[in-house]
Every structure is written in structure tokens, then in C-alpha cells.
Chains A and B, each alone.
Chain A
Amino acid sequence: MKRRISYLLIACLMILSLASCTRDPKPPVDPAAPGKPLDGGEITVAMYSDLDSSLDPHESGNSAATREIMFNIYEGLVKIDSEGNIIPALAESYSQSESSDEYTFKIRPGVKFHDGRQLEMADVISSLRRAAGLDSGVALVAAFSAVKEVEQIGDDSVKITLNAPDTEFLPRATAAIFPRDIDPVTQVCGTGPFKLTSRVVQDNIVLEKNEDYWGTPAYLDKVVLKVYEDGEALVMSLRSGASDMAMRLGASQIAELDSLNIIEGSNNLVQALYLNNAVKPFDDARVRQALSYAIDKQEVINLASDGYGTPIGSSMYPAFGKYFMPELTDYYTRDVDKAKALLKEAGYPNGFEFSIAVPSNMPPHIDTAQVLVEMFKEIGVSAKIELVEWATWLDEVYTQRKYQSTIVGVDARDATASDLLSRFVSTAADNFTNFNSAEFDKVYAEAKASSNDKEQTELFKDCQRVLTEEAAAVYIQDLASFVVMKKGLEGYLFYPLYITDFAAIYRTE
């Protein structure tokens, strides 16, 4: 139903990760000729969907859309900057044991929560223990399931001990820290540059500047996030000036907004036709390759999103500069004869039929699916689109893996390569495509075990190569994402993750 609930909801994507650290930064897109920043002011941001889940920052079901906003409210020991670097947040410094199984964080003094209380060691310990599920037995933050113990060291430090060495843990240490005596399910109280002051379900969310912020404070006094859920209505509100800004618009919408500042970025999602590798006919790599040969990625982008978007060839998007392999993008180029030959070889000379499950609230994926169906027709394969509710998708496709194929965008929860790769390990709990390759498992394990950054990077690249060669999925594109701001607003930063940093936005004269 909700047709247009859209792009932000592309959002409700996937998640998960573990981290490695620095990566080549994606150059932040610089709004033309930045003016002089002014302090203060209030903006209204038009959003495509409500934050449709609990605001509990540890609640892992959080959609990407929710995390995008919560980034402004909650902070962890460390956080990511717009260039993808891990920077200190509530920890002012940290160290990592030789064996990478112990991480020690020195807590920043003088930090205040939004309710005015001082951040204390006990708050840090209780939040981290909750995230790791040390007392409840169930880790709320998946990445923290590897945590064995959280203990206070001296007056001002906390030590996290892991079950096994992990060089990618640091970027995971973003799990939110909040006062030990609040119920984060119903109360929102963090340390970030903005605090949440009110929320009306399906209508609006109001953020106000945290005057006591420990770091660089926000420019704006107030950010009102208004929920539209309707593409046309959202665009109208921007045109009429009722909204000042919107993120993650699609190509078809910006056509009507040329009086505003339009900044092109990417959604940082791996959009692909994910195939259930365990069911016929997709258990045969030749069939998966045939589908990959059947499509013309650039043509998909032209038809479905007016030519905006970046083709990709494996489970990695360009913002991960260090790991992204542009050479894989053209590993398969459209070749109908080759596709037909592969199908014949695999025993499907007359093609076959299959269904593509697409979450009904994600128009970009529905549009892509419609184009793919036409392209598959030409190699004799008849695909049928089946729109499913997001909840059904999570249940049947993602959890129970009862599907043939699906189109979604997969995002990285933290800034780590394994966020996008670990799900293809044959035994991974979130391996919803049932990909099973001994080679991949081996290379991935080696990569995780490696402590040499350069070697690790190469191994992660090998992982991607395996995914492409085996055609684990039909990789399509990183969707274009446009940010639209009223003239006089500047400072939008593109992060390599699904995040919007309102603290960076400012008015100019």
C-alpha cells in the first residue's frame, strides 16, 4: 500500500557489522560557495516516512531511517565522521590490546545528558552491559554479542573484553550510552548535539539544540522533522516553502525543485536482486550468472532513476573507497546470447519462471524490479513481481528465507567492510541468500583473522571477487540520493553510512 512511503524507507534496510577502521574518505560534497555560517534558526525537514520503530537506541530492529535521526541524539564511546574515520566521542581516548581482544576507553569528563545530569561511569557500564546483554543474556546490539565482559578500570576508564580477537571492534563501539535509570524504550535522553523534545506518531519529531554539548555545538536551534509519506506531497511542501529541506529524494522528484539547492550523493546501499542460492534454479551458479548477463545496469539506472545512481558489481558501495572495486562493476555486461547459452548449459534451454519479492513501501526497488522483469524476458526468463509488506518481507524472506529472489538495498550499520560481507559466510545467521561457498568462507575467515590492515583489505577484496564470480546476487547499483535545501541553508555532509548530521547544517546570510 503505501506506495510512496519511500526512499527514506529504503532505509529499513539491513544492518549488521564489524569493523575495520580507516578508509579512504569519500570527499564530502561541498555545497557551492559556502556562505558565512550563522548561529541559530529553525528548519523543517520533510521526511518520507515515520521512524517506524522503537526509539530505543540499542533496539536492533531499528530501521536505517531511525538510526539516521538517532545519530544526532545518542552517542557511543566513539563515533564516525563524515569521512568515515572513527573519532573519539564519549571516550576521549582508547587503546587496543596487542591481541585485539581487549579494548580500553577513557571516558570524557564533564559530559552532560540532555536532562542535565552528569555522565558517570555507572551510566557507561550499564549501557554497555545492556547492549551486550551481559545481564539479560541476550545481546541487544548484535555486534556486542562478541563482548565477554565490561568492567570499570580505575576512576575513569572502561575495559571491554571480547570472546575472540577482533580487529574490527572499534567502529562497533558506537552503541549508545544513556542514563542508567531511564527506560530507553519510552524515554529518549542521550548526549548528542540535539535532544528530542516531542514526537507525534506519523506526524512530526522535534529536535532542539543541546546547549550543553561537550563538542562543537549545532548551529541550528531547532529541527522539526515532518512526516509526509507521500512523494508528491513532500515535493509540494518543498516547493511551497513549508519545508526547508529533505534528504534521500529520488531522481524523479528533483525535476520539480530546481529553485532549491540540490546536492547529489548516494544512499550507501547495495541494491541487488538477491537470489536464494539454496533453491532451484538459483542453486546453479550458471543460472545466477545468466541473470547477471541479462541486465544492463546503466540502462536500469536510466529507466528507473533518470540516469542517477552508481552501478556496482559486488557487495560494496563506492563510499567505502578503500574496499570498493570498480573493476567488478563490468564483470558482467549485457550479453543475451551468453546468458541463453549459460541457461542451456544449466538445463534451462527454455528459460524458467521465478518471483521477485519486493517490499511494497520501497518504490526505487519496485521500479528497478519492473525494469529487470523486461530485461529477463529477453533471455526467456519470466519473472513475476510480488510486493510484500515490509513486515512480511522480514519474516518470510529475511528470517525464514522462504523466497526465490528479492530486490532490496543492504546498508552497513557501522563503518566496516564485514558489515557488507559477513552475511555471505555460509553459516552466518543473517545469510538470507543462503550463499554457500567454501572459498568465500575461507577468505573471509582469513581476512577477519588478519591484523595487517593492508593484507586485510586485500582479503576483503578477494571476498568481493568471489561474490561477483559466483554471482551470489545480481548486483545493480548504489542508488542516488539527493539532498534538497532551501537557498540559505548549507553544510550538509554525506557520510559513508546512512546518517544525516543536523549539527553541521547552518544558515547563511
Chain B
Amino acid sequence: MNYMKNANFRAGVAITSFMMIVILIGLFWTPYDPNAMSGSEKFNPPGLSHPFGTDNFGRDIFSRVMQGASATFAIAAATVAIGLAGGLIIGGLTGYYGGWLDDLLMRINDSILAFPAILLALVMVAILGKGRMNIIISLGILFMPSFARIVRTEVAKQKNTDYVRNAKLMGASDIRILCVHIFPNILTVLLSSVAIGFNNAVLAEASMSYLGLGVQPPDPSLGRMLNEAQNFLTRAPWYAISAGIAIILLILGFGLLNEGLSDE
């Protein structure tokens, strides 16, 4: 992989793998039960027994950050998966067939892209309701247009290459051409948009949960934790800071990966 020569990419890989390891461990083991409360250990500052301190219920913040990061990451992954799947279908079809449907869909696509994402997300959540599943669906749908646009451009480019024409002459079906011949070729281009997609999805989940529209308590999510932590900023600043740094690391890691992938 010649990507490894790129400093951004290396840093991105390092940060993202670090977070992935933390998240993976968090799935199976956390130092404490993230939801276990203790009346005698409220608002303990960071120390040996609780590296990130404890919160208003005496819960271990480090364990909650581990769990929160995996919740946030899982939502981001599901969002990107839905967005990418939708984007491949819409972008693939419009790019391959073109015509008036292409014009229409891309026009709608562009007007959706012109809206601030947060506004759309708010309206979507107002319609669908809050909670983990709904936030995934809302964000997933919101992510489709940007993927669709990239896929469409790439598919339209590939459509006119010799090998696709050859495949057509040999009688391959359109679906086969799209899935077997075109999609594998655009995957590398898509990688960098997947990375930026993760970046945006983490930010979106964190924002929505911060506003109280995403993950609901007692499930931790990094945004949700920040929402709660803000109430205790004077008494327990470490609460907000630990959750915030975890969000930054996730976003930074994916951001750098995207940089690395898109630098030629």
C-alpha cells in the first residue's frame, strides 16, 4: 500500500486503530459496570481507581466512555452502511442509465445537499421520533445523497470504458455489469468518502445525542454524556472533557484517513 507513505494516512490509521481497540475491548470488558451506581463515590476526580473519575451517580466514567464510544461508533457504522447502500443503488442506477430520471434525482439530491444537515436531522427526528434506531434511520437517509452523487459520477465515468463495453457486447446483464464490473472498480474511490462519512456520522450522532434526540439514558453515547456532563461542569469538569476527547479522537482519526486517501 503506497498510502502508508502518506503522513496523514499513517496518523489516521494509528488514531483509528487505537480507538477501535478501545471499542473492541469495551464490547467484552470494562473496568467497572458502566451503569453501576455508587452513592459514596459521586464526583470522584480522576485517580488510580477511576482513571477518568466518576459522574453524578458514582459511575465510572472511563467504563462509560468505552461503552459510549462503541455505541457512537456502531451508530456511525450503521448510518454509513445505510447511506452507502442507498447511495450505490440510487447513484448506480442514475449514473448507468442517465436520462430524465437521472436529471430529476440529481436535482432533488442537490437541493437536499444544500440544506444544513442538522436542520434536516431535526425534522427527521421530529417525524420519526427519538432513540437509537430512529437516529440511525434518519442519519442513514440523510447520508444517501452525498454517496449517491459520488457513485453516480464514478459510474458514469466507468460506463464508457472499454471493458464495460466489452462486457456488454458479450451479453452481460446490466445488473451484472454494475455489480461485477463497475462497483469493484469504484471501491477505491469510495474508500475516502466512507472515511469522511464516518467522520460526519460520528459528529452527527454526537450532536443529536447532545441535543437529547439520539441515544437515550441510561445507555451511554458520547454525545449523551456531554449533554449530562454540561450540568456538572463546575463540579466535575473531567466528565465533559473525557467524553469530548473521545469524540475528537474518533473524528480526527477518520478525518485523517480521508485526507490520506484523497491525497494522491
Q: Do chains A and B touch in the complex (CB under 8 A)?
A: yes
Please state if A371 and B216 are interface contacts (CB–CB under 8 Å): no
Please state if B231 and A232 are interface contacts (CB–CB under 8 Å): yes
Bound: A386/B218 CA distance, A:
9
Chain B residues whose CB sits within 8 angstroms of the CB of A304 once the complex forms: 57
Chain B residues whose CB sits within 8 angstroms of the CB of A231 once the complex forms: 231
Q: For window 105-157 of chain A, which residues contact chain B by CB distance below 8 Å?
A: none
Stretch at the interface among B2-10, B19-27, B32-40: B32-40
| A303-B39 contact given A232-B230, A387-B130, CB 8 Å threshold | yes
Kindly identify which residue among B37, B58, B216, B231 contacts A387, using a CB–CB cutoff of 8 Å: B216
Which of the listed residues A1, A231, A302, A374 has the most CB atoms from chain B within 10 Å of its own CB? A1
Please state if A374 and B37 are interface contacts (CB–CB under 8 Å): yes
A-facing mask of B216-246, CB < 8 A → 1, else 0?
1110000000011011111100000000000
Q: For window 12-57 of chain B, which residues contact chain A by CB distance below 8 Å?
A: 35-37, 39, 56-57
Any A CB within 8 A of the CB of B86: no
Which A residue's beta carbon lies closest to that of B36? A374
| A360-B231 contact given A303-B37, A303-B39, A371-B37, CB 8 Å threshold | no
Any A CB within 8 A of the CB of B211: yes
Any A CB within 8 A of the CB of B213: yes
Chain B interface mostly: loop
Please state if B235 and A2 are interface contacts (CB–CB under 8 Å): no
Bound: A425/B199 CA distance, A:
54
Chain B residues whose CB sits within 8 angstroms of the CB of A370 once the complex forms: 35, 37, 57, 217-218
Any B CB within 8 A of the CB of A336: no
Taking residues whose C-beta sits less than 8 angstroms from the other chain, chain B's interface range is 20 to 34
Which A residue's beta carbon lies closest to that of B125? A1
Chain A residues whose CB sits within 8 angstroms of the CB of B130 once the complex forms: 360, 387-389
Any B CB within 8 A of the CB of A285: no
Q: For window 123-137 of chain B, which residues contact chain A by CB distance below 8 Å?
A: 129-131
Bound: A337/B230 CA distance, A:
39
Any B CB within 8 A of the CB of A255: yes
Bound: A386/B39 CA distance, A:
24
Which A residue's beta carbon lies closest to that of B126? A389
Q: Distance in Å from the Cβ of A257 to the closest Cβ of chain B?
A: 11
Any B CB within 8 A of the CB of A385: yes
Chain B residues whose CB sits within 8 angstroms of the CB of A458 once the complex forms: none
Please state if B233 and A3 are interface contacts (CB–CB under 8 Å): no
B-facing mask of A7-46, CB < 8 A → 1, else 0?
0000000000000000000000000000000000000000
Any B CB within 8 A of the CB of A163: no
Bound: A255/B235 CA distance, A:
9
A-facing mask of B151-180, CB < 8 A → 1, else 0?
000000000000000000000000000000
Chain B residues whose CB sits within 8 angstroms of the CB of A2 once the complex forms: 212
Chain B residues whose CB sits within 8 angstroms of the CB of A366 once the complex forms: 217
Chain A residues whose CB sits within 8 angstroms of the CB of B232 once the complex forms: 232, 252
Please state if A252 and B217 are interface contacts (CB–CB under 8 Å): no
Bound: A2/B129 CA distance, A:
15
Please state if A302 and B39 are interface contacts (CB–CB under 8 Å): yes
Q: Distance in Å from the Cβ of A484 to the closest Cβ of chain B?
A: 16
Please state if B217 and A387 are interface contacts (CB–CB under 8 Å): yes
Kindly identify which residue among A3, A235, A371 contacts B227, using a CB–CB cutoff of 8 Å: A3
| A1-B216 contact given A256-B235, A371-B37, CB 8 Å threshold | no
Please state if B39 and A256 are interface contacts (CB–CB under 8 Å): no
Please state if A303 and B231 are interface contacts (CB–CB under 8 Å): no
Kindly identify which residue among B57, B211, B231, B233 contacts A1, using a CB–CB cutoff of 8 Å: B211
Please state if B131 and A386 are interface contacts (CB–CB under 8 Å): yes
Please state if A374 and B35 are interface contacts (CB–CB under 8 Å): yes
Q: Distance in Å from the Cβ of B36 to the closest Cβ of chain A?
A: 7
Bound: A367/B218 CA distance, A:
9
Please state if A1 and B217 are interface contacts (CB–CB under 8 Å): no
Q: Distance in Å from the Cβ of A374 to the closest Cβ of chain B?
A: 6
Bound: A303/B218 CA distance, A:
14
Bound: A366/B216 CA distance, A:
10
Bound: A386/B131 CA distance, A:
8
Chain B residues whose CB sits within 8 angstroms of the CB of A367 once the complex forms: 56-57
Any B CB within 8 A of the CB of A299: yes
Any B CB within 8 A of the CB of A373: yes
Please state if B213 and A373 are interface contacts (CB–CB under 8 Å): no
Any B CB within 8 A of the CB of A4: yes
Q: For window 367-386 of chain A, which residues contact chain B by CB distance below 8 Å?
A: 367, 369-371, 373-374, 385-386
Kindly identify which residue among B57, B216, B217, B233 contacts A232, using a CB–CB cutoff of 8 Å: B233
Please state if B217 and A385 are interface contacts (CB–CB under 8 Å): yes
Chain A residues whose CB sits within 8 angstroms of the CB of B217 once the complex forms: 366, 369-370, 385, 387
Please state if B216 and A386 are interface contacts (CB–CB under 8 Å): yes
Which of the listed residues B37, B57, B233 has the most CB atoms from chain A within 10 Å of its own CB? B37
Which A residue's beta carbon lies closest to that of B122? A1
Please state if A256 and B234 are interface contacts (CB–CB under 8 Å): yes
Chain B residues whose CB sits within 8 angstroms of the CB of A299 once the complex forms: 39
Bound: A232/B235 CA distance, A:
10
Q: For window 228-270 of chain A, which residues contact chain B by CB distance below 8 Å?
A: 231-232, 235, 252, 255-256
Please state if A387 and B212 are interface contacts (CB–CB under 8 Å): yes
Q: Distance in Å from the Cβ of A133 to the closest Cβ of chain B?
A: 33
Q: Distance in Å from the Cβ of A83 to the closest Cβ of chain B?
A: 35
Q: Distance in Å from the Cβ of B41 to the closest Cβ of chain A?
A: 11
Q: Distance in Å from the Cβ of A238 to the closest Cβ of chain B?
A: 12
B-facing mask of A381-417, CB < 8 A → 1, else 0?
0000111110010000000000000000000000000
Q: Distance in Å from the Cβ of A435 to the closest Cβ of chain B?
A: 27
| A252-B56 contact given A1-B212, A374-B37, A387-B212, CB 8 Å threshold | yes
Chain A residues whose CB sits within 8 angstroms of the CB of B218 once the complex forms: 370, 373, 385
Chain A residues whose CB sits within 8 angstroms of the CB of B36 once the complex forms: 374
Bound: A299/B218 CA distance, A:
18
Please state if B212 and A371 are interface contacts (CB–CB under 8 Å): no
Which B residue's beta carbon lies closest to that of A375? B37
Bound: A235/B235 CA distance, A:
12
A-facing mask of B235-263, CB < 8 A → 1, else 0?
10000000000000000000000000000
Given A299-B39, A366-B217, 8 new contacts (CB under 8 A) = A1-B213, A2-B212, A3-B228, A4-B231, A367-B56, A367-B57, A373-B218, A387-B217
Closest CB pairs A-B (n = 5):
A1-B212, A387-B216, A1-B211, A370-B218, A231-B231
Chain A residues within CB distance 8 Å of chain B: 1-4, 231-232, 235, 252, 255-256, 299, 302-304, 360, 363, 366-367, 369-371, 373-374, 385-389, 392
Can you list 8 pairs linking A and B with CB atoms under 8 Å apart? A1-B212, A1-B213, A3-B228, A4-B231, A374-B36, A374-B37, A385-B218, A387-B217
